[in-house]
């Protein structure tokens, strides 16, 4: 800066801005994700905390469905922000979680529109849309109900051997080892 013969100088220090926040952009209610500092020495803030809770130095937990702003402020005061979407988790799976080999049981969860999957179709298969599980052979299978957002609920289905079924007076059958 110069005025006539007089002049003044001012030093400017340029500090690097934090890079982009490299974290998943979504999480399910009740699940956690870890975020990585774009540059060391800064702090994290999440707003609103009614949607996402920040714990420890960089762990985010979904509290309720919605969107929250994740902001990282470097030690020099520079800011990086990322939006985090919190998706609803399906309800706990209900229904009888045991069946005889060759029998069926109906499971349910909300909201509707999710997809049912068995991790062990050699033991139990399940209709992807219906929630009707069929016992195939003795053992256990993890059954999950998955929403399109990636959020899911799971239960364990136990399949009793078909030979354990015996008739009940008055009609029907009872399968030993099944509820």
pLDDT, one tens digit per residue, over 146-155 is: 999 999 999 9
Q: What is the pLDDT of residue 142?
A: 98
Average pLDDT over residues 39-62: 89
50-65 b/e with 16+ CB inside 10 Å = b? ebbebeeeeebbbbee
Whether the Cβ atoms of residue 100 and residue 175 lie closer than 8 Å to each other: yes
Give 143: exposed, middle or buried? Use CB within 10 Å, 0-12, 13-18, 19+.
buried
Q: What is the pLDDT of residue 175?
A: 60
Look at the pTM and tell me if it is higher than 0.75.
no
Give 72: exposed, middle or buried? Use CB within 10 Å, 0-12, 13-18, 19+.
buried
Average pLDDT over residues 58-64: 93
Q: What is the pLDDT of residue 178?
A: 52
User: φ, ψ for residue 84 (rounded to 5)?
Assistant: -120, 125
Round the average pLDDT of the chain to a whole number and report it. Answer: 87
Question: Residue 58: which pLDDT band, with cuts at 50, 70 and 90?
Answer: confident
**Cβ neighbours of residue 14 closer than 8 Å, sequence gap 6 or more:** none
Question: Residue 168: which pLDDT band, with cuts at 50, 70 and 90?
Answer: low
Q: Which two tokens stand for residue 60?
A: 């985010």
Query: How does pLDDT run across 104-131, given as a tens digit for each residue?
Result: 999 999 999 999 999 999 999 999 999 9
């Amino acid at each position: 800066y110069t005025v006539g013969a007089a002049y003044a100088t001012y030093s400017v220090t340029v500090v690097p801005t934090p890079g982009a926040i490299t974290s998943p952009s979504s999480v399910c209610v009740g699940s956690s994700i870890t975020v990585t500092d774009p540059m060391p020495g800064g702090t994290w803030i999440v707003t609103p905390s009614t949607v996402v809770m920040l714990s420890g130095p960089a762990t985010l937990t979904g509290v309720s469905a919605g969107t929250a702003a994740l902001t990282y402020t470097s030690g020099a005061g520079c800011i990086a922000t990322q939006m985090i979407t919190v998706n609803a988790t399906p309800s706990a799976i209900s229904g009888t979680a045991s069946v005889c080999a060759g029998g069926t049981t109906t499971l349910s969860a909300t909201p509707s529109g999710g997809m049912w999957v068995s991790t062990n179709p050699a033991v139990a298969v399940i209709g992807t849309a219906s929630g009707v599980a069929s016992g195939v052979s003795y053992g256990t299978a993890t059954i999950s109900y998955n929403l399109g957002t990636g959020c899911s609920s799971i239960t364990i289905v136990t399949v009793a051997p078909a030979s354990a079924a015996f008739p009940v007076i008055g009609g029907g059958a009872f399968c030993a080892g099944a509820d």
